């Protein structure tokens, strides 16, 4: 009823954001499938980390499913996902685009190469702290942001900052 009321009150496309790690509540596939019947609900950003859940949604309705987990983008697209709302795309947008373009062109080998390159960045960057703390710190190191986070979030500790700097150096960004 909540989504229905919102959808009826606006005349814009709506993307559902399913992130139980932040909300403590998963939007079950059956609910998403029902919501897909509402005309201006056009996509779901699926951030559960569950390929089972994504598969259930993709097999049951025509709703566009977008990856909300950078490291699962390529597997999700192989199942029929339409793209990603990327975190690492804030620092390497061209690389994310290259992976998507390779996949969409049917060059799975090249898409896999980009996936594995990006995976190292995802694993070592996004696991340091709650998002957006590490991506903001990375943007600051790259001179693209001031790195400020709002409470209750705090800056990366010094050991995590060292890991982040090494990760960015290993990727060729520093």
Domain ranges of the chain: 1-85, 110-174
Q: Which pLDDT belongs to residue 162?
A: 96
Q: Which pLDDT belongs to residue 35?
A: 96
* Residues labelled as active-site residues: 17, 45
**154 close to 73: Cβ distance less than 8 angstroms:** no
Q: Which pLDDT belongs to residue 38?
A: 96
Per-position DSSP letters for the chain, written without gaps between them? -HHHHHHHH--S-EEEEE-HHHHS----HHHHHHHTTSTTEEEEEE-S--HHHHHHHHHH---EEEESSGGGHHHHHHTT--EE--SGGGT-HHHHHHHHHHHHTT-HHHHHHHHHHHHHHHHHHHTSSSTTHHHHHHHHHTTS------TT--PPPHHHHHHHHHHHHHHT--
Q: What is the pTM of this model?
A: 0.92
Note down pLDDT in tens along the chain; length 174 residues.
888 999 999 999 999 999 999 999 999 999 999 999 999 999 999 999 999 999 999 999 999 999 999 999 999 999 999 999 999 999 999 999 999 999 999 999 999 999 999 998 998 888 899 889 999 999 999 999 888 999 999 999 999 999 999 999 999 999
∠ CA 127-128-132, nearest 5°, is 90
Q: Which pLDDT belongs to residue 20?
A: 96
């Amino acid at each position: 009823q909540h989504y229905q009321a919102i959808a009826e009150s606006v005349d814009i496309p709506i993307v559902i954001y399913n992130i139980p790690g932040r909300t403590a509540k998963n939007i079950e596939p059956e609910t998403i499938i029902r919501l897909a019947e509402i005309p201006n609900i056009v996509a779901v950003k699926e951030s559960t980390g569950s390929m089972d859940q994504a598969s259930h949604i993709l097999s049951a309705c025509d709703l566009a499913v977008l990856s909300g987990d950078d490291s699962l983008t390529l597997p999700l697209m192989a199942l029929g996902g339409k793209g990603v709302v990327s975190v690492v795309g804030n620092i390497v947008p061209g690389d994310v685009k290259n992976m998507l373009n390779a996949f969409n062109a049917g060059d799975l080998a090249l898409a896999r190469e980009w996936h594995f390159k990006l995976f190292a960045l995802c694993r070592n960057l996004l696991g340091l702290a709650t998002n957006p703390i590490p991506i903001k710190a990375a943007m600051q190191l790259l001179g693209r942001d001031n790195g400020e986070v709002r409470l209750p979030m705090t800056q990366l500790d010094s050991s995590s900052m060292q890991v982040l700097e090494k990760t960015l150096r290993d990727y060729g960004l520093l």
